[in-house]
Amino acid sequence: MSKVNDILKGKFLVDEDAFKNWRMIIFLSVLALIMIASSHRADEKVHEIADLKDEVAELRSEAVDSRVNLWKLKTSSSVAKALEARGVKPSNVPPKKIKVKIEERD
């Protein structure tokens, strides 16, 4: 019971062998600070990764929207509507192939 009282009163910190105890206490304190800093840094990384995942999802969605809009603009009906405002109408006559014959010269 006296050893427990000595510990509670802090006599182990002022004894003749107190230097060994202080070294251990300082070592454990530094170790605890390193663990806390490491844990804090890991939490920051987790939050950063979550933010980046949200940004990637948003950019992916924006890319899909842009692709759909581009597809709509490229359809022949939307091109025809855009050109109709300028007075250009689709031809009623189907296109004809033009064949060019190349004569070989000696």
Query: Token pair for residue 97?
Result: 């192939």
What's residue 70's pLDDT?
92
Residue 105 lies in a domain: no
- Domain of 79, in residue numbers: 2-84
pTM, two decimal places: 0.53
Q: What is the largest CA-CA distance in the chain?
A: 122
Residue 96 lies in a domain: no
* Confidence grade of residue 106 (pLDDT, cut at 50, 70, 90): low
* Confidence grade of residue 40 (pLDDT, cut at 50, 70, 90): very high
pLDDT in tens, 63-72: 999 999 999 8
33: number of CA atoms within 13 Å, CB side? 6
95 — phi, psi (to 5°)?
-70, 155
Residue 100 lies in a domain: no
CA distance 35 to 17: 28
Query: Token pair for residue 7?
Result: 């510990």
Percent of the chain past pLDDT 70, that is, above it, reads 98
